[in-house]
Amino acid sequence: MLVFWKARLVMLAVPKTGSSAYETALAPHASMTVLDPPELKHAPVYRYNRFFRPMLEKVGGKDMELMAIVREPVSWLGSWYRYRQRGFLAGRPTSTRGMSFDAFVEAYTRGERPPFANVGSQAKFIEPRPNGTAVTHLFRYEHQAKIIGFLEQRLGVTVDLPQKNVSPGADLALSRETEAKLRRKCATDFEVWERAL
């Protein structure tokens, strides 16, 4: 999470949407960077609302706007699947080594997800709070030029985005049945992505 005090902007770090690259490019321009632990770095709206919003408001940040990036849901799950193929996870319950992407997504659509498929939800991450705290600027990961244009205009800086935290390639084929189940069970994630600029 990056806080740009003068620009009155908080950039939430939705996992698997290029947050590490944006961190690298923009941390020098941020008033506050939250890099660790992952639960705070990747603070969803509800956690921002509970911990960070009150702190910022106490020092005059009542008009802070939230920004987030969401990724097409199949692509987003593909990024998680590929990330969890990495060697350092081999043998752990969170590893996806030795399984197909189809099996990973099928597990993700279950009521109780196994550890390797327990990766959250983009829709849940940006879910507005009853007090009105919500994402003001929602962008699609696939529209990097729009994201960069917005940030450059808002922050008054040039954004040079590096390649960071790129997962290895993998076959991301889904059966028709699994994709249909994903679209049915996770409809809100697809709706959020469709709604994004």
Sign of CA dihedral 42, 114, 88, 75: negative
Output the pLDDT for position 166. 64
**Phi/psi of residue 127, nearest 5 degrees:** -60, 125
Output the pLDDT for position 115. 96
Mean pLDDT over each residue of the chain, to the nearest integer:
94
Could you give the CA distance from residue 197 to residue 70 in angstroms, rounded to a whole number? 10
pLDDT in tens, 74-124: 999 999 999 999 888 888 999 999 999 999 999 999 989 999 999 999 999
pLDDT in tens, 133-170: 999 999 999 999 999 999 999 999 999 987 766 666 77
How many folded domains does the chain comprise? 1
What single letter denotes the amino acid at residue 148? I
pTM beyond 0.85: the answer is yes
Q: What is the CATH number of the domain that holds 40?
A: 3.40.50
- What mean pLDDT do residues 47-61 have? 96
Output the pLDDT for position 87. 85
Residue 73 belongs to domain spanning: 2-195
- What mean pLDDT do residues 5-27 have? 95
